[in-house]
Homo-oligomer: A and B are copies of this chain.
Amino acid sequence: MFIEENNRLKATCTFDNFVTAFTFMTEVAFWAEKQNHHPNWSNVYNTVEIELTSHDAGNTVTDRDHKLAKKIEQLYQKYL
């Protein structure tokens, strides 16, 4: 689901509707906060675009990004 590009892990997730998209974002938000690592993300209706990078590592992809990406992929499974 995530691909690495320009020193970022990127994913685009789509859902049935806005409510489901935002519900997914809510669960991701909890885990981002738990890992103290937060996404650059945007939402338009049923689509959520996520980019992960480590600002404090010169905007490169680090283990923290891979860890959060893995969790997000796991959370996304139940919407497929």
Contacts and interface: CB of A to CB of B under 8 A. Distances in A.
Interface of A: 18-20, 22-23, 25-27, 29-34, 38-45, 78-79
Contact of A26 (B26, B34, B41, B45): B26
Contact of A23 (B23, B38, B41): B23
**Number of identical protomers:** 4
Contacts of A78: 78-79
Contact of A27 (B19, B38, B39, B44): B19
Contacts of A32: 18
Contacts of A33: 18-19, 30, 33-34
A34 B18 CA distance: 11
